[in-house]
Structure 1
Amino acid sequence: MLTFTEMIQHPSQWLDASGPFSDIVYSSRIRLARNLKKIPFSHRANDDELRTVFLQAKEAAHETQLLKDALILDLGELDSLDRRVLAERHLISNQMVELYHNRGLVVTPGETLSVMINEEDHFRLQAITSGFNLNEAYEKVNQLDDELGSRLEYAFHDQWGYLTACPTNVGTGMRASVLIHLPGLFITREIDTLIKKIAKKGFVVRGLYGEGSDVKGNFFQISNQQTLGISELETLERLEKYTRELIEQEKAARDRVFQEAKNEIEDKIWRAYGTLKYAHILNSDNMMNLCSLVRLGISSNWIKETDTSRLNELLVFAQPAHLQRLQGQPLNVDERDVIRAKLVRENLDREN
C-alpha cells in the first residue's frame, strides 16, 4: 500500500507532459462538489457530523474499484508542512491547510484521482490529466462519482440539481479547468484583452493555484463559472472551444514574436536557461519566470538539453514546503532560495 512519504517523493503522473498540446496546456482538471443528505454542510456541521462524513467516505472508498489502492489521509494527523505539500501538489485547498480537524484526503497512486473530504463541501472529487485532455478527466471523475454515488446518499434536488455549500456550485456541482501557459500572448501584450473577453463569456481566470493565487510564470487557470441551467457536457464543450481558440492565438503570437524579434527572444531564452543552470540563489517568482522562457525555448525546438516534464516537476518540487520536506527541516526564505537553485541545477544536469 502506498504511503504518504513514498507518494510525495515522486512526481505526480500528470506532470509527465504526455497529454495533447502539453507544450502549451499544463493540465486539465474536473472537480465535482457533492454533499451527503441530512448532514449540514461542512462549515455548519459539528465535530460528530464531520467525523460521520469522514468515516462514510473511507468506507465507500474501500468499496470502490477506482479507489481500492488509494491512500486515505486524516489531515489532522499531518503537520502543517505536510499539509502544505499536499496543497502544492494541487490535492487540497489552501483552506484545508489551516482548517484540518476531521478533514481528509483520498488519493490514488499517480495522483490523477482524489477526493477532498469536508472542505467547503463534504466531498470534492477531482480528476487531473496531463495537457489538454478534459474529456479523459471527465470520464474518470464521472466514473468515480457513479461508484461513490451508488454507496452514498447525495444531497440532490429535482429542480436545482446537486446541493452545495456555495450557491455558485449548485446544479452540476462541476468545475472544469485548464492550466495554460501563454508567454506569447504576454509578450505581444494581448493577454489582458483576451482575459477580459474570456470573463465576458462566463469563465474565471486565476493563477497557478486557483482561487486567491496570483499569475506567475505566464500560467493561467481558466475555469467555468456557471453550474446551474447548463449540463456538464455543455460546460465541457464551451471550455474546449475557448481553450482551442486560446491555443491557436498563443501559437500565432509566438510565430509573430519569432518573426519580428527572433534574435532578442532567443537571447532571452538562452539567458534564462543559463541562469537556471548555474544560479546559486533563486527565489520562487524568478524561477517561475525563467522556467516560462525555457519552456518556450523547448516548445520552439531551440532548447533540447532538457524537456517540458522536468520543468513541470520543478513547478512542484521547488515550492517552499517541498523544499523543506526534501531537507527534513524548516528553512527561512534565504535558505530556501539556495536549496531551490541547487535543486534546479541538479534537475537540469540529470541525464534523460
Structure 2
Amino acid sequence: MTDYTVITSRVRLARNLAEVRFPSRISAGEVEKVYRAAFSAAKEVFDPTLYQIGSLSEEEKCYLVERHLISPMLAESPYGGVILSKDRQLSVMLLEEDHIRSQCFRKGLALEDAFVSLKEYDLALRAKCRLAYDKKIGYLTACPTNVGTGMRASVLMFLPGIALNAGLNDLVEELKAAGLTIRGALGEGSEGDGFCYQISNAVSLGVSEETILNRVSSAAEKINHIEKNLLQKYYQQNRNRLEDSVARAVAILSSAKLLSQEELESLIVSVKIGVILGLVDMDHVNLDDLALLCKPYSLVRLTGCENTSEARDFARARTVRKTITDKE
C-alpha cells in the first residue's frame, strides 16, 4: 500500500564557480562558462537534456514549475536554464540564486538514495571546474543559510493528524531546536495546503552531509509515528463526520463530469485520509501522482485538451474517473 505520510524526498546542492559573479551581476561570457561546466559534468553521469528558459513558451515554463523541476524564480530568469535527466528525477537549475543548483527526487523516505545519485553529478562537476570554496567555511553560496555543505535535504509530508489536532506549533518548536525547519509544500513563504509540509535542515554550516541526512530522516520517521497516532485519535473523536467526507469524496471523484483543480485537491485529501485509516481501498491508484498529472499544464500535455478552464475541468474529471474506476 502507498505510504501517503512521507510523499517525496529531495536533496539539493548549491554550487558556484570560483571567480564568476553571482547571477544577479553575471556577464554574458560568465553565463556561457556556467552552462559549459554544468552540461559537461551532466554528460559524464546521465543522458542530459538542456533547456534555456528564455527559449521556452510560458506554458512550457509553467509545466516545469508544476513538476518542481524548476523554481518560480528560475522561470523568470532571462538567461537561466535547466538540465534534466530522462527520468526527470535529477534536475540541474542554472543561474537561479546560485550558478548551479542540482537536485534529486525520490518517492517516500529515501534521502540517502537521492544523495548518492546527486553526489555522482557533484563529483563530475568538481572535476570540470573550480568551485567557490573556503577551507574553513565550505561552499560559498548566495544565501547565507546554504553556506557550508550547500545542501538542503527535505521530505514532503502529509500531516492531517497533526494539523487537525493543533499540533503544528509544537512541531515547529521541536524541529527548530533540532536545527530543522517546516514550511508549506512549495517551500519558503508557502502555506501547508492540503496538509502537506516540507521538513528540511535550517542551515548547512558546521555540519556534514551525513549529519544533515540523518537528522532530517530521523525527524521524518518520528513525525510519521506521531502523525499516525494523532490521525487515529482524530478519527475516534470524529468518526461519523470523517467517514462521511471520505465516502462523499470517493463518490464525487468516481462520477463527476467537471472537476476544478481546487476541488480535486480537496477531495484527494479526504480520500488519502480514508486510505490511511483503512476506510477505502485504493491500492491500484497513487493519489499523489494522480493529483500531479491533473495540474493544469500537466493535464494539457497528458490529454491534449484546450488550455481553457472548462476544457481542463472536463479532462481532469475524465482522467480521474478512468484512473479510479477504469471507466470513462
What per-residue deviation string (whole Å, max 9, x for no partner) do you get for residues 172-197 of structure 1?
10000000011122232323432343
The two structures have a TM-score, normalised by structure 2, of 0.92
Deviation for aligned residue 1:79:
0.7
CA deviation after TM superposition for structure 1 residue 260, in Å: 3.2
Residue number in structure 2 paired with 1:325: 301
2:270 to 290, 293, 315: 293
Corresponding pairs, count: 327
Where do residues 137-176 of structure 1 align in structure 2 (5 Å cutoff)?
Answer: 137-176=114-153
Query: Which of 82, 86, 97 does residue 105 from structure 1 map onto?
Result: 82
1:107-135, CA deviations, whole angstroms, 9 ceiling, x for partnerless residues? 21222222111111111111111101111
Offset at residue 72 of structure 1 (A): 2.1
- Which runs of 5 or more structure 2 residues have no equivalent in the other structure? none
CA 1:289–1:198 in structure 2 vs 1: closer, same or farther (change >3 Å)? farther
Q: Is the 8 A contact 2:145 2:204 kept in 1?
A: yes
Please tell me whether residue 260 in structure 1 is matched to residue 242 in structure 2: no
1:87-123 deviations in Å (ceiling 9; x for gaps): 1111100111121x33221121222222111111111
Pair 1:274–1:196, CA change in 2 (3 A) = farther
Distance in 2 (alpha carbons) for counterparts of 1:234 and 1:305 = 37
CA distance in 1, matches of 2:86, 2:208: 30
Report the CA distance shift for 1:23/1:328 in structure 2 as closer, same or farther (over 3 A).
closer
Aligned twin of 1:229: 206
Aligned to 1:8: none
CA RMSD across the alignment = 2.2
Q: Deviations over 1:35-54 (max 9, x none)?
A: 11111111110222112211
In the alignment, structure 1 segments of 5+ residues that lack a partner are 1-15
Task: Tell me the SS of whatever aligns to 1:227.
Answer: coil
Match of 2:50 in 1: 72
Q: TM-score, normalised by structure 1?
A: 0.86
Q: CA deviation at 1:210?
A: 1.9
CA distance in 2, matches of 1:329, 1:338: 9
Mapping 1:1-352, distance limit 5 Å:
22-62=3-43, 64=44, 66-67=45-46, 69-99=47-77, 101-307=78-284, 309=286, 311-326=287-302, 328=304, 331-350=307-326
Matched-pair identity in %:
34
Which moved further from structure 2: 119-128 or 298-307? 298-307
Once the two structures are superposed, residues 259-317 of structure 1 have per-residue CA deviations (whole angstroms, 9 ceiling, x without a partner) of 333333222111111122222333323222211111122223322245452x1222212
